[in-house]
Amino acid sequence: MAIIPDLIQIKMTVERMERLYSAQKSEAAQVLWAAYVKVGARFKTDLADERDIWLSRAAALMLLKYQLEFPE
Question: What are the tens digits of pLDDT across the range 4-51?
Answer: 999 999 999 999 999 999 999 999 999 999 999 999 999 999 999 999
8 lies in a domain? no
13 lies in a domain? no
1 lies in a domain? no
Give the three-class secondary structure for 64. helix
6: DSSP letter: -
Polymer length of the chain: 72
33 lies in a domain? yes
Query: CA 58, CA 25: separation in Å to the nearest integer?
Result: 21
**Domain count within the chain:** 1
What's the pTM? 0.91
Range of the domain at 50: 25-72
